[in-house]
Amino acid sequence: MASSRNAVQMSDQEVTDFLGGSMKVQVGTIGPAGEPHLTTLFYVVDEGRIAFWTYGRSQKILNLRRDPRITCLVEDGEDYFELRGVTVTGRARLVEEYDDIRSLGARVAKQMANGVDLGDFGDELVSQQAHKRVGVIVEPDKIASWDHRKMAGPPGSS
């Protein structure tokens, strides 16, 4: 089984390209009773790391203040032979300085708008929201990846 696992693993460059070309991440933190807490957020890549912002009073931030362990999943594909994804397991570093939060928020907002500059309206909105938010940088301990497009398709598909 190990050889088939290696056959679908993405290269470092493929992981970089995949993460840079996506915009939504599923985030798992550890809830107050030890249960998984899952959410989906928009993100950017910051020096090779997944980064996002969220409300400072959100459950995920409460969880991360108590236990910084985090798992992130970025995935794509509709059928089995299209499935691909990257899982990043690590520790969250919280960003709480206003200017840093605003800068991260501006990048996330631009990503959400598919790269369109939102002008003064976007700047004002991000500036207002930054007072309520916390940034999160995921410091990876482990990265796993898969790309089923590297496998031969079902019988009769060629």
pLDDT of residue 1 exceeding 60: no
pLDDT of residue 125 exceeding 60: yes
Where in the chain are the domains? Answer: 2-149
pLDDT of residue 153 exceeding 80: no
Kindly report the average pLDDT of the chain as a whole number.
91
pLDDT of residue 117 exceeding 90: no
Three-class SS of the chain:
CHHHHHHHCCCHHHHHHHHHCCCEEEEEEECCCCCEEEEEEECEEECCEEEEEEECCCHHHHHHHHCCEEEEEEEECCCHHHCEEEEEEEEEEEECCHHHHHHHHHHHHHHHCCCCCCHHHHHHHHHHHHCCEEEEEEEEEEEEEEEHHHCCCCCCCC
pLDDT score of 103: 94
pLDDT band per the 50, 70, 90 thresholds, residue 115: low
pLDDT of residue 156 exceeding 90: no
pLDDT score of 155: 54
Q: Say which CATH topology domain 2-149 has.
A: Pnp Oxidase; Chain A (2.30.110)
Does the predicted TM-score (pTM) go above 0.85?
Answer: yes
